Amino acid sequence: MEGFEILSVGDKLKNLRKKYNLSQDDIVGNEITRNLISQIEHNKANLTVSVANVILKNLKLISKKNKIDIDINLDYLLENEKSQAIKILDKYIKELKDLSIYKDAIFTSKLFEAEEFLVNWDLKDKKLAIFELAGDFFCNTNDLYNSSIYYEKAKALISTTKPNHHIISILRKLSTVYFYMGRYEDDIKCCDFALNQFKNMKEDYQYIFVYNSALCYMKLNKFDIALKRFVSIEKQLKKVHTDKYYEVILQKAVCLHELKEYDKSLKLLYKILEIVGKDNYKKYIIILLNICDVYISINNFDKVREILNSIVEYKSHLDENFLYLPEIYFEIGKIYKEINLIEKAEEYFLGALKYTKNTIRFHLEPDILCELVNIYISSNHKDKIYDIMNEFFILSAKNNKPNNSIKNKLIDYFLDINDIQALRQIHNFTKKFQ
């Protein structure tokens, strides 16, 4: 921190004598040997309270005699280097908290200062606080890559022998960021680490880690494992947290659908739909979308069209800041694609992409771009495929790695039309990540 310097006790005494042009005898008088004060100044002996009091007494006499103001106290003299470092780091932490609300480069500049200072100080609690603040800042500014880096740094400092609410909270945040990044295997490891290492954590956190890991297994198409995890928390949640209970039942219904247990899935979905009610537009639409998916699987397209009309009607009640709006638009787009209304599908996929950029739901972008590129390849819409290529570049830079599904679709298309320039662009861009 600018203007702050860590001083040993010996350096403080030498600076003090230099500032006021004093000899060693001046500050210790006849009560302490010059040999002892010399050892203290060279950091070979500790400054005791009794010696510090002698120095202060003599400084007061000098101040009075020479009519100069010597503003030194006992705490200053005795404060060691570690205590000074803690004070400076506390100031960094306060500044970072204050700066985090502005979401600009000033925070990152101050963070760089703090990290440079931390290089010489192994103060884990201060490191933990600074790394968590950095993780929070980057998450709130939609920089999920750097957010994960700092939460991982915080995780590396965690002591499994001293679990507390704060440490478990960091693991929860890391789990959330991993999910948004599409790092599902890492998310499962994070959740299992928390559950295995901190067995006495509060039940609310246990439910969160089990639920998050189950969602990841769903993303990895391991629906049997996901279903078992949802079932493991279902009964207890019903007693203590009704809203979370219905979320678990919804995901359980999705797993049953994917496991081809269509009747069981529909039964659960209609049960939740009745309980939620039409006035709860957000949840009602999400349940309807899942019901639609089941009817698509059993080829009941009359029901699909009927429910889709209801979904579009209720969608008008949703706020544009609704967290799950990108998913809703994406799912509606997929339904339109299933009933071969491609223009409507494109409209909703583009809407999903737009709303994804306004939130931290980045894990959806690869799937959305894949759907769009499929539409544009089928219609041979070259200009729009170039737009997707640019989106691919942006997404890859954001995630610090290229998405292979999108890359391969683009390469296949540009090979078919012999567009060497576009192929070279993709090659030059992706080799940066090798």
Residue-wise burial string across 376-391, b where 16 or more C-beta atoms lie within 10 A, e elsewhere = bbeeebeebbbebbeb
Q: In this predicted structure, what is the pLDDT of residue 163? A: 58
Instruction: Pick the range with the lowest mean pLDDT from 11-20, 84-93, 187-196.
Output: 11-20
For the cut 90, the answer to whether the pLDDT of residue 91 exceeds it is yes
Answering whether pTM is above 0.85, one says: no
Query: Mean pLDDT, to the nearest integer, of 390-414?
Result: 90
For the cut 90, the answer to whether the pLDDT of residue 300 exceeds it is yes
Within a 10 A sphere around the Cβ of 239, how many other Cβ atoms? 8
CA distance 13 to 426: 64
Query: Mean pLDDT, to the nearest integer, of 265-291?
Result: 94
Determine contact, residues 33/5, Cβ cutoff 8 Å.
Answer: no
Strands (E), 123-265: none
Summarised one tens digit per residue, pLDDT across range 197-214 is 988 888 889 999 999 999
Determine contact, residues 385/391, Cβ cutoff 8 Å.
Answer: no
Token pair listed for 144 = 């999920």
Q: What is the mean pLDDT of the chain?
A: 90
Q: In this predicted structure, what is the pLDDT of residue 106? A: 92
Q: What's the pLDDT band for 1 if we cut at 50, 70, 90? A: very low
Highest mean pLDDT among 63-77, 326-340, 397-411: 326-340
CA distance 389 to 369: 9
Beta-carbon contacts of 371 under 8 Å, excluding residues fewer than 6 positions away, are 330, 333, 334, 337, 345, 349
CA distance 9 to 16: 11
Compare 427 and 360 and report the one with higher pLDDT: 427
CA nearest to 408, candidates 426, 395, 396: 426
Q: In this predicted structure, what is the pLDDT of residue 160? A: 61
Query: Mean pLDDT, to the nearest integer, of 24-51?
Result: 81
